[in-house]
Structure 1
Amino acid sequence: MTTLTSGTTGKTGVRALVGLILAVSMTTIDQTIVALSAPTIQSQLGLSHDGIQWAVNAYLLATAAFFLLGGRLADVVGHKRMVMVGIAAFGVTSLLCGLAPAGDLAEAWLVGARVLQGVSGAIMFPAAIGIVVQSFSREGRGRAMAMFFAITGAMTAIGPMAGGYLTAWTWRSIFWVNVPIAIVAMVVVGLSAAPSPRRAERVDRVGAVLVALGMGLVVFGFQQASGWGWTSPGVLAALVGGVVFLAAFAVHELRTHEPLVNLRAFGDRGFTISTLATLFSSVAFIAVFFFLSVYGQVSLGLSATLTGVLFLKLFLGFVIASRFGSSMFDRVGARPVLAIGGALGVAGFGWLAATVTDLDFDHSAFLNQQTWPIALAGAGVGFMLSAASTDAVNRAIGASYGEVTALSQSMKNFGGAFGMAVFTTLVTGQLTTRLTASFEAMGATAADARKAVDLVTGAGGDGGAPSAVHERVMAAVRTDYAGAVQWAFTGMALAMAVLLVLAALYPRDRRRTA
């Protein structure tokens, strides 16, 4: 059994690690837990399609916009202080999400609480990395970081699984479950983590505003592209405006004496490639939860609980492979880990894309023809994700672990938003074309097909769509969605293929700064 060696803190370092994993797991679970429960939330609160879509996406947008500020605050104010603030705020905002009232206030309440949740997570995550780094000696730090990223990354798959079971009781419990976790995490971290000194430095407020506007507008543009169209003035204005603000942010950061984040970190080729690997793997990893959820409920006709079993298969592949990937990273560095993870991901997502249109099997059985491609896809991401994240942090400049973590995790959220936007646009377009042809062949109209598309995709994975569509066209809905979602899984395989190129470009030296 692998042991962790802490530095000056003895066993308290291990206890702090456990508390931090609990805390950060709340943020990764909440990236995906709402998607599966969205139909229930929408119907019980009376939300519009756009309202529930924003309840799903607002968290991702807020996290991406404020991660860099969170990293800088952690380095300046102190890691322990910011972790405790982040945990407490996440618990409170989770409680607020669960208390959302039905009626006219529902959308504003739930979306606003999700934004505050995202900001809380952005404050917590970079500070947690700083505590892990300072709590373990050089000998034990690699294993601690690998365990941290492997477990918190795997919790992304736990979200939909847990959401299916919790929603059977009440959808509010998917948020309320965070409250006792936050309390336990605060106690454990408060008693175990050593305080870090406050630095006599300023926080770059101008940079914080520029990057928040830039990331927010770009992510907003990606998210709205599927509904408004990529060529709509609103989407183009958001994307162009976001790029302008990000360019202004980069110029400002390179000129200011105390920047929000040291962009010269990208001068390290290994850091740049590991960060890009996190981005492209997230294009596939974040999006797969959404599309598996809709596919399970629409094409396979599974309940929300049984759809969660699909994520269990993904989770098992992720966890098993992450153990081997972390061990290989310790021995030989990131280059071969990225290559193997990319190859496994291409094989898994490609295999799933090739078989997704065959619906003639026992959908409720755990072991069926789709078990192995789903598990292999999870294994591809799991094998490389913790290694890429750990490698980026190991290459931190000086002690700016908060800054480097914020850069890496911002790219993860950015990749997830980009993947969701591109794949949703592809799938919606394909589904519209296929259903229009199918409906017209049965005497229905293109408008009827458009309604069916909205029911399937408009609420971020509306599991109630089958009951809302007339039974005589349900066969067309099931098969046509399976054909449409094939494009998304193919795109995920292509995103993982980029990792093979990145691995070839990774520096051959094994330098990993402690």
Structure 2
Amino acid sequence: MSASISVDAGSSAGGRKGLVLAAMICAVAMTFIDQTIVSIAAPKIQSELHLSGTGVQWAVNAYLLALAAFFALGGRLSDTLGHTRMAVIGVIVFAGASGLCGLTPTGSLAQTWIIVFRAVQGVGGAFMYPAALAIVVNTFDLRSRGRALALFFGIAGGLTAVGPILGGYLTEWTWRGIFWVNIPVALVALLLIAISRPKTQYRPAPIDWVGVLLIAAGVALSVFGFQQSHVWGWTNPLIGLSIAAGAVLLVVFFRYERGRPSPLIDVAIFSDRTFRVQCLILGISMAVFLPMFFFASEYAAVSLGQDTQKSGVTLLYFFIGFVVTSQLGGRMLDRVGAKRPIFMGSVIAAVGFYLWASKATSLDINQLTWPIIVSGAGMGLMVSPSNTDAVNRASSVSYGEATGITQTVRNYASSLSFAVLGTVMISIFQSRISDSLVQQHMPRKAADALAASITHGAYSGSGSGSSSSSSGIPPFIRADFAHGVQYVFYIMSGLMALAAIVALLGLRGGVQAAPATAEAEAEHATAEDSPAA
């Protein structure tokens, strides 16, 4: 009888954990989808609401900027007010702002309205994501956490590729649908949270608002500079000033936080060698991962002449590899530790991006399919173990804070990379177009001017909006654009090779031991077992 009871109890616990995981995946699904879905509808939003070019750009970027700026606060709030409480608040804020974006009125108020509520969406996502990840980490013990988070990152990450496809279909109905689709997803997430009642621990503490101001302003100014670099140009002094001011504020923040009795971020966590190395690896890999979506989508639209739906399907090849190997990476993390899957995944990704680059100028999707799948497989194998191993270094009442740090690093690195890679791509693209026009007997001065005009229109920084007009692009423009993207993917290959070297030299082998202080910390923490806790 006792054996039977034990089995039933274990089954019940496993079922509850599965529901918690499903609830958190539903919650963060909205943030992943929104990273790409709005870019697809940007031209239609601009046309219907009569937005300026700057306005439509900020309708895209306001979300990403707020998300990056408030991750640290979101992580801290989840650790001090309760992970479940902040997850619920984040879902409600995100869904509410999504609904209001979908209700944007036409007329003079439209531009301000959609930019403001896109920013509010970002704040909701910044509150929700660290809390959701902390709940998953708290729910699964150290030995089963790798597999659980592999599923979390695999499914949630895969939804980033769904954004362009879903956005394309919804936009054919109404662009407002890309925002309203978040509402039923949010309702499902809230229902699953209420049913599963996640149990976590948190430690009430005052919020360091000076620290919040310093890091939010530092990240926002830097990311703003990176975002605007392709619009204003690197020669504009405001770009350098914005990035430099942001960097200075982040240094001031780091120095200010040391020795604080209740810091926004306990910078002592950086004394852990593995955490530092994993943050570096995450920064390098995210300099590849998120910009890849933009450049791959633009390449599919401009060079391959694919429409929105087909370019989205091209990205799904990437996630065929990503989703499968992310599960393998999680199992390897639980069994042998983080070093092996991160090193192997980085090497595979480096090879995949190299092959992708070498085939880019063929303009043949059949030659690109396997390199895209291999690239995704490499990224899937290493991203989840790196994220999980970094968060594992925190105490049980600081998982939200650790997630806030890693997400800030990821967003900062991807913003920097996007700016630099965009500059490289445009430089190569413009040079190739100019040479092509000269070969067609156009004077060099006129060719340079026309090439600059063409490249400025092709690279708006707002996603694959160019797909709508790709049918009329001359063949030499398609080929020249492919050469620009080719250089980008060669650089991505080099970055992943660098990540492999950092993992090989910086990480220790073996499975992480459970923190010795976990039980002591738990005694001083507050239990949370319901959404209303």
2: distance between equivalents of 1:287 and 1:268?
A: 29
Give, in angstroms, the shift of residue 468 of structure 1. 8.5
Give, in angstroms, the shift of residue 197 of structure 1. 6.2
Q: 2:266 aligns with which of 256, 262, 267?
A: 262
**Is the CA contact (8 Å cut-off) linking 1:13 and 1:193 kept in structure 2?**
no
Q: 2:451 aligns with which of 431, 440, 449?
A: 449
The answer to whether 1:434 aligns with 2:432 is yes
The answer to whether 1:488 aligns with 2:488 is yes
Counterpart amino acid of residue 481 in structure 2:
Y
Counterpart amino acid of residue 417 in structure 2:
G
Q: 1:415 aligns with which of 413, 416, 420?
A: 413
State the partner residue of 2:317.
Answer: 313
| Structure 2 counterparts to residues 69-468 of structure 1, below 5 A | 69-194=73-198, 196=200, 199-359=203-363, 361=364, 363=365, 368-442=366-440, 443=442, 445-458=447-460, 460-461=462-463, 463-464=465-466, 467=469
SS of the counterpart of 2:508? coil
State the partner residue of 2:525.
Answer: none
Specify whether residues 138 and 357 from structure 1 end up closer, same or farther in structure 2 by C-alpha distance, changes over 3 A only.
closer
Counterpart amino acid of residue 402 in structure 2:
V
Q: Which moved more, 1:423-432 or 1:245-254?
A: 423-432
Give, in angstroms, the shift of residue 12 of structure 1. 2.5
**Is the CA contact (8 Å cut-off) linking 1:325 and 1:382 kept in structure 2?**
yes
Cα deviation, 1:244-291, whole Å, max 9, x if unaligned, reads: 110110011103110001111111111111222211111111011111
SS of the counterpart of 1:320? helix
Give, in angstroms, the shift of residue 441 of structure 1. 4.1
Give, in angstroms, the shift of residue 240 of structure 1. 1.0
Specify whether residues 192 and 462 from structure 1 end up closer, same or farther in structure 2 by C-alpha distance, changes over 3 A only.
closer
Give, in angstroms, the shift of residue 440 of structure 1. 4.2
Give, in angstroms, the shift of residue 72 of structure 1. 0.6
**Is the CA contact (8 Å cut-off) linking 2:69 and 2:220 kept in structure 1?**
yes
**Is the CA contact (8 Å cut-off) linking 2:146 and 2:333 kept in structure 1?**
no
State the partner residue of 1:511.
Answer: 512
1: distance between equivalents of 2:485 and 2:319?
A: 21
1: distance between equivalents of 2:163 and 2:292?
A: 13
SS of the counterpart of 1:30? helix
State the partner residue of 1:50.
Answer: 54
SS of the counterpart of 2:305? coil
2: distance between equivalents of 1:7 and 1:108?
A: 51
Q: Which moved more, 1:96-105 or 1:209-218?
A: 96-105
SS of the counterpart of 1:95? helix
Give, in angstroms, the shift of residue 85 of structure 1. 0.4
Cα deviation, 1:213-251, whole Å, max 9, x if unaligned, reads: 001111111111222223421011111100111011001
Return the TM-score normalized by structure 1: 0.92
Counterpart amino acid of residue 407 in structure 2:
Q
Give, in angstroms, the shift of residue 322 of structure 1. 0.8
SS of the counterpart of 1:31? helix
Counterpart amino acid of residue 509 in structure 2:
R
Specify whether residues 106 and 487 from structure 1 end up closer, same or farther in structure 2 by C-alpha distance, changes over 3 A only.
farther
**Is the CA contact (8 Å cut-off) linking 1:326 and 1:387 kept in structure 2?**
yes
State the partner residue of 2:531.
Answer: none
2: distance between equivalents of 1:154 and 1:289?
A: 12
**Is the CA contact (8 Å cut-off) linking 1:131 and 1:193 kept in structure 2?**
no
1: distance between equivalents of 2:170 and 2:135?
A: 32
2: distance between equivalents of 1:6 and 1:249?
A: 46
Specify whether residues 44 and 376 from structure 1 end up closer, same or farther in structure 2 by C-alpha distance, changes over 3 A only.
farther
SS of the counterpart of 1:255? coil
1: distance between equivalents of 2:463 and 2:343?
A: 32
Counterpart amino acid of residue 512 in structure 2:
R
Specify whether residues 129 and 44 from structure 1 end up closer, same or farther in structure 2 by C-alpha distance, changes over 3 A only.
same
State the partner residue of 2:530.
Answer: none
2: distance between equivalents of 1:379 and 1:164?
A: 26
**Is the CA contact (8 Å cut-off) linking 1:456 and 1:465 kept in structure 2?**
no
Counterpart amino acid of residue 130 in structure 1:
A
Give, in angstroms, the shift of residue 87 of structure 1. 0.4
Q: Which moved more, 1:431-440 or 1:260-269?
A: 431-440
SS of the counterpart of 2:397? coil
Cα deviation, 1:190-216, whole Å, max 9, x if unaligned, reads: 232246566441011000000000011
1: distance between equivalents of 2:267 and 2:469?
A: 51
1: distance between equivalents of 2:153 and 2:464?
A: 31
**Is the CA contact (8 Å cut-off) linking 1:157 and 1:315 kept in structure 2?**
yes
**Is the CA contact (8 Å cut-off) linking 2:306 and 2:470 kept in structure 1?**
no
**Is the CA contact (8 Å cut-off) linking 1:6 and 1:13 kept in structure 2?**
no
Q: Kindly report the root-mean-square deviation, in angstroms, between the aligned alpha carbons of the 2 structures.
A: 2.3
Specify whether residues 494 and 139 from structure 1 end up closer, same or farther in structure 2 by C-alpha distance, changes over 3 A only.
closer
Give, in angstroms, the shift of residue 109 of structure 1. 2.1
Counterpart amino acid of residue 232 in structure 2:
W
Specify whether residues 196 and 317 from structure 1 end up closer, same or farther in structure 2 by C-alpha distance, changes over 3 A only.
closer
**Is the CA contact (8 Å cut-off) linking 1:97 and 1:113 kept in structure 2?**
yes
2: distance between equivalents of 1:498 and 1:166?
A: 39
Give, in angstroms, the shift of residue 462 of structure 1. 5.2
Q: Aligned residues, how many? A: 503
**Is the CA contact (8 Å cut-off) linking 1:350 and 1:493 kept in structure 2?**
yes
Counterpart amino acid of residue 196 in structure 2:
S
Give, in angstroms, the shift of residue 89 of structure 1. 0.6
Question: Which structure has the greater CA radius of gyration?
Answer: 2
State the partner residue of 2:521.
Answer: none
